[in-house]
Structure 1
Amino acid sequence: MEIQSVGEAFIRPGQVLTDRTALAAASRWTQAVSEADGVCVVHLAPGVDPCEITAELRERGLRASPNHLLRGQPLFFGGPASRPFPTPPIPHKAGRARSGVVVGLLDTGIAKHPWWSGSDWYASLGPDEADAAEGSQAGHGTFIAGLLTRRAPGVRLRVQRVLDGDGIADEASVVRALHRLRDRPPQVLNLSFGCHTFDDRPPPLLSDAIGTLSETVTVACAGNTGSDRPFWPAALPGVVGVAAVDSTQQRRAPYSGYGTWVDACAKGDWLTSSYLDAGEYGGYAAWSGTSFATALVAGAIADAARHEPAKEWIRTLLDSEETPQIPDLGVLFPASL
């Protein structure tokens, strides 16, 4: 996979993401166009800078973005939250009761595991939703699925694999996956990945795609950047951006993103959950990162949605002056696992 770095943002070189309204304006720089699920990827002629073309199209009032790369969070290259560690089996038996709440999970997919063996939602998954078998973040989706199903018993997961085994997806693939959710939108959507953008502005097509899911609470990680630089989609208005606190649940985990754009936080250090049954792992692991703090918050919202609409519940919680806040980290969701 070709990757270009632009100011600590990563993009696919020679590609611009647009909708159909921008195709005519971009035609003089265009070599080819690929379109699927309402998203157009303009493949630029050699030597054309996608960031410059994006800026010019936006000046004309058109929707455009370089095709950014989004990465799962734990860190892709080393660091305190970079890899899982094997743990003994974790006692957990899924209850028979169903909550009726659906959580969308866009990630690396989900592997077979005793915690959801026999569940109707897992039985409906096809081979395209299986977790990646290899890569630095293989098992990422399976780990998150365990956190969600334990935090929100009886929840039904709707899974789409968008990240590869190294936890990478491009913006076009994510936007297309979001568009596929529009016919049957979930009550809660977990996005444990993200990116910086080349200009620190919100990516418009990603923002539009999330915005169309108007009745869904989208929860996204603040990133393992250790900075207050906006991380997308967590920093989008209307998205619940989640930071990680350390094991004391009082301080920011050193790796976690933070800032006024963060809405909530939860424990991100040394969480245990389901994992791949391979090598030294017997289906269970401990892992750290804002990815997993996000799953705890998404699970809490899904659990509350059994009793009242998810949008109303989270809006009341975040807007209440009585809700305890941690500066630059938002509302603390206490860990219950």
Structure 2
Amino acid sequence: MARPVVAIVDSGIGSHEWFGTYALDPAETDGAGVVLRDASLPDGPIGTFPVPEFPEEDAEIGGISTSRLTGPLDPIAGHGTFIAGVVHQKCPDALLLPVRVVGGPGVAIESEVIESLRRLYRYHQLGLAGEEGFHPVDVVVLSMGYYHEDPDDLQWDHPLSAVLAQLREAGVAVVAAAGNDGETRPMYPAAFAPEVDRRGAVPRIVCRHDVSSERPPILTVGALNPDGTTALFSNDGPWVTCLRPGAALVSSIPTTLDGPITPSVRLKEKHTDGYRTTVDPEGFQGGYATWSGTSFAAPVLAGEIASALIDVRRARAAQEPASLGDKRRDDAAAHVSERVRDVWRAITSATNGLTLEESDHPS
């Protein structure tokens, strides 16, 4: 059975014991059987964010691009690797597909994000067609967003919402972060999600905007504290689908990140030739860190959906003859419909019951 593929549309995935080696030279990279580092289209990478000339300026290698001479580490240095680690912890069997759309400063150009998503859709279509070297995508994680600055800005949302709709209609679950400003003001693409009533035991879609049996919903995730309360920083509104742990999470960080800020105390050891120090605040050679944000709540749900997809597909494979499965794969439309049904079932499982009304739910 094919492993689920989770596309992380972010800053890339750096070097780590879970994920192999990342370097600017593709010949020096490997994905440890988890990261699809060589995934690309015939005309170039899927993500359009340019690869830096120097490794120290790459968000997932050196992480120092905003202040190249003096540091400190960029605001989102290691962001993509941290997200990847959250998904990997929730679904170790998932393959991770890095799609680079942003660098260490943390500001993405909307047109470039849209183009990268269009290219991801092309990659997904080639995977569906069975082309060698390509994989169908199962889940997309979008831990970024923007607010409208003017009421008229709504008319400019269509290019982004359209490509996300294409992905969902092709059997891809889309998971977005709600935002970290403690706001009720809609943040996009999170606010493309349908309105949901979360007050009952089972979440209920109360406004079916942009969702149907053939188009699974965008899923928006807010953040929980370790004790289960809602994180103070987490945005909220009817467009937030669910909450997942997102405060003080522990996950992977590139082992290459080592910023210029040093320990506050460094003393010579009395009984060895070494030194004892306070913790280096910008040294991540150990490969792990704590971080907070809805950016990291979203991949929790993404990993849960990927895990649920494994169960859904295993159950279907046990029920249908192999010949029927092969026949469906020869029929492109039937294959996509099957993937959409699987995604809906995985979403329902991972969200504790989110679904359309019974009469409209895919059977």
- Common fold by TM > 0.5: yes
Q: 1:120 to 1:313 in 2, by over 3 A?
A: closer
Counterpart of 2:299 (choices 271, 295, 301) is 295
Q: Note the residue ranges of structure 2 that are not aligned, 5 or more in a row.
A: 21-31, 40-44, 53-57, 65-73, 125-136, 194-216, 259-282, 313-341, 358-363
Equivalent residues in 2 for 1:50-89 (5 A)?
Answer: none
- Report the counterpart of residue 285 of structure 1 in structure 2: 289
Whether 1:156 and 2:95 are equivalent positions in the alignment is yes
Deviations 1:49-99 (A, max 9, x none): xxxxxxxxxxxxxxxxxxxxxxxxxxxxxxxxxxxxxxxxxxxxxxxxx86
Paired residues of 1:100 and 1:154 also in contact (CA < 8 A): yes
Whether 1:306 and 2:310 are equivalent positions in the alignment is yes
Counterpart of 2:13 (choices 110, 117, 120) is 110
Q: Quick one: distance in 1 between partners of 2:346 and 2:85? A: 23
Q: Quick one: distance in 1 between partners of 2:2 and 2:291? A: 27
How far has the Cα of 1:318 moved from its partner?
A: 1.3
Q: Quick one: distance in 2 between partners of 1:204 and 1:244? A: 27
How far has the Cα of 1:263 moved from its partner?
A: 0.3
Q: Quick one: distance in 2 between partners of 1:223 and 1:210? A: 18
Whether 1:209 and 2:163 are equivalent positions in the alignment is yes
Q: 1:170 to 1:269 in 2, by over 3 A?
A: same
| One-letter identity of the residue aligned with 2:7 | G
Equivalent residues in 2 for 1:135-214 (5 A)?
Answer: 135-185=74-124, 186-199=137-150, 201=154, 203-213=157-167, 214=169
RMSD (Å) for aligned C-alpha atoms: 2.3
- Report the counterpart of residue 252 of structure 1 in structure 2: 230
How far has the Cα of 1:146 moved from its partner?
A: 0.7
Q: 1:120 to 1:297 in 2, by over 3 A?
A: closer
Counterpart of 2:246 (choices 256, 263, 268) is 268
SS in 2 for 1:305: helix
Q: 1:307 to 1:289 in 2, by over 3 A?
A: same
How far has the Cα of 1:124 moved from its partner?
A: 2.2
Q: Quick one: distance in 2 between partners of 1:244 and 1:111? A: 24
Paired residues of 1:151 and 1:303 also in contact (CA < 8 A): yes
How far has the Cα of 1:128 moved from its partner?
A: 4.3
Kindly, what percent of the aligned residue pairs are identical?
35
More moved, 198-207 vs 214-223? 198-207
TM-score (norm 1): 0.62
SS in 2 for 1:276: coil
Q: Quick one: distance in 1 between partners of 2:247 and 2:231? A: 7
Paired residues of 1:106 and 1:160 also in contact (CA < 8 A): yes
| One-letter identity of the residue aligned with 2:222 | A
More strand by share: 1
Larger Rg: 1 or 2? 2
More moved, 306-315 vs 160-169? 306-315
SS in 1 for 2:238: coil
- Report the counterpart of residue 130 of structure 2 in structure 1: none
Paired residues of 1:99 and 1:154 also in contact (CA < 8 A): no
Q: 1:164 to 1:123 in 2, by over 3 A?
A: closer
Q: Quick one: distance in 2 between partners of 1:193 and 1:259? A: 17
- Report the counterpart of residue 185 of structure 2 in structure 1: 229
Paired residues of 1:242 and 1:290 also in contact (CA < 8 A): yes
- Report the counterpart of residue 58 of structure 1 in structure 2: none
How far has the Cα of 1:268 moved from its partner?
A: 1.0
SS in 2 for 1:247: coil
